[in-house]
Amino acid sequence: MRIYSLQDFIKYLETTGELIRIKTEVDAKLEVVEISIRALRENMPALLFENVRGSRFPLAMNVLASEKRIELALGKHPNQLGDELITFMEEALPPKPKVFFQHPGIVGRLFCTLPKTISRPPSQQVMCSPNLNEFPITTSWPEDGGRFITLPQVFTYDPQTKKRNVGMYRMQLFDERTTGMHWQIQKGGGFHYYRAKKMGKEFQIAVALGTDPALLLATVAALPEGIDEVMFSGFLRGKRTRMARGKTISLLVPADAEFILEGTVHLTELRMEGPFGDHFGHYSNAAEFPVFSINTITHRRNPIYPATVVGRPPMEDKYLGNATQQVLGPLIRLIHPEICDLWAYYEAGFHNLLVVAVEERYRKEAMKTALSIMGEGQLSLTKCIITVSEDVNPRDFHAVLRAIRENFDPAYDFIMIPKVPLDTLDFTSYKMNLGSKMIIDATKGKSGNVVWEDSLKVQDFERLLKIADARIEDWNIIDETLLVVTVPDNGKEIVTKLTKSPEIIGPKIIAAVSPDVNVRDLEQTIWGIFTRFDAERDMVFTQEKLVGISPVFRGKMGIDATWKRGYPLPLVMTDEIIDHVDKQWDTYWK
């Protein structure tokens, strides 16, 4: 089935049993969020709330919150689409006519990349004065700074080159016609805003709410700067994306969206925005960001408002992010033929942990590859890169840990890069947009002397950890490589003691986490470690010394990944909302 709009997709999901209509009156403040989080974690269908208190529009959530719904949206598994695309690109360079006949499916999708402009779009069936208070805009977490539009697709155009960008940036509702515009570093819309400020030009933008899955996935995809998301959506859909001229702005807008917000971002006005519970599982701090003023709103007849929730994984962005990297990930081989595969971990908020499988053709090529990746587009925001050999599956964290055990020697295979740009949402350096990064090289065949140690038995760890520090509340050893301990505080002191202890043998890495992390759950362990440490500030080794001006590390690596004073709070729903949803749970599904 061809899907051209959100409503098309919702109807399709309903026919396949992948949508539930909820007729019970619900509140967009916290209640719908708690419902959608539970529904996702119980593998329930997408949700359409038909009766949201104070709003005349229905609310759709969890629309793409499963692998099955992603596959229904694309018409095939994203892995298959990615493999087909890279096979075609590799065979088509240099161009050979026969290749086009050998890959008719991909060629057909490529012909669909050119957008189509129409004159009477569904997204402009109704035109009205701005009043965002009529929308079922959600408040996701108790300490959020207000209501936030969480699935906006922001259309901007470079004022000099006229190139288009479509990005997803949260928008805090200030009043019925004004919102924040959270442009983080390394975002296309932010670059266009920067250039508009430099040129002193009025900066018109459009925001689409509720598009078909192809345009939504193209919006969240980490495309190279300058690659048009609208064109990429035509490739994903296998059908040209329909666009239309805006009503009050000289920009093209999606013809099949549910809502279009047309307006201007002020070049000199900033306003305090946030806090907001974000996909690192913590609140991002309030800060000043640009302001978006809406001129007019157009929408379909009987439109549906979309929303999503981000927070402690897993959330819907797990499926969105995994799908886009499955499609686009293989394309990195066009730039780096040595890369066999790569995977960014949703558990760590994607940007905090990237594993790259490399076929090394010369000594330390993997380290060169990692350094190169840290300078490329959205990948430049990666905090930790682990390189492994070509026979290791980077999506299998257990296999990655075994590669570290067998091949990693910090004296030869560790690089820390301090004081560099970092994801705006990362709080671990206490400085917005700045922090430190690290590279762990766990590829085979290096000349360094990797130290093997026989692992202690489980009962030996139990005994030694009790002796080492009575403050250790829980622990787990994963693949004889990663020892994780739970401590209430003083994480740096405790992890230093364990890392330098000659009695703790076996694990290559020792990490301390806070009690809110379940160290028996791998997903939560990855989240708890990689979202809460700064490489420059929070790491220790068994031995540390300077050779000239170069630091040399030996032995075990220690990471203090505990929550620290000055960090924003982790996301926790209120007991009141949890109790309310508990009591109402059965009524939602009637």
Please give the full DSSP string across 496-547, using - where no structure is assigned.
HHHHH-TT--S-SEEEEE-TTS-TT-HHHHHHHHHTS--TTTSEEEEEEEEE
Angle between helices 575-588 and 31-41 (to 10 degrees): 70
> Is 278 noted as a catalytic residue in this protein?
yes
Q: How far apart are CA 344 and CA 187, in angstroms?
A: 18
Q: How many residues does the chain have?
A: 590
Q: How far apart are CA 398 and CA 401, in angstroms?
A: 5
Backbone angles phi, psi at 165, to 5 degrees: -135, 145
Q: How far apart are CA 79 and CA 324, in angstroms?
A: 9
Q: Is the peptide bond before 122 cis (omega within 30 degrees of 0)?
A: no
Tokens of 410: 């910090």
Q: How far apart are CA 262 and CA 12, in angstroms?
A: 29
Q: Is 346 helix (H, G, I), strand (E, B) or coil?
A: helix
The alpha-helical segments, DSSP class H, found in 329-443 are: 365-373, 397-407, 410-413
Angle between helices 316-328 and 67-74 (to 10 degrees): 50
Q: How far apart are CA 573 and CA 143, in angstroms?
A: 9
Q: Do residues 259 and 303 touch, judged by C-beta distance below 8 A?
A: yes
Q: Is 407 helix (H, G, I), strand (E, B) or coil?
A: helix
Tokens of 554: 């030996």
| Rg of the Cα atoms in the chain | 25
Report the DSSP beta bridge partners of residue 242.
116
Residue owning tokens 């470079």 = 158
Own/partner long-range contacts of 542-549 (Cβ < 8 Å, ≥24 apart): 542/499, 542/500
Active-site residue identified among 144, 212, 256, 278 = 278
Residue owning tokens 């959600």 = 138
Q: State how far the alpha carbon of 316 is from the alpha carbons of 95, 414, 506, in Å.
A: 39, 33, 37
Strand 509-513 and strand 550-561: pairing? Answer: parallel
Q: Do residues 429 and 383 touch, judged by C-beta distance below 8 A?
A: no
Residues noted as catalytic:
278
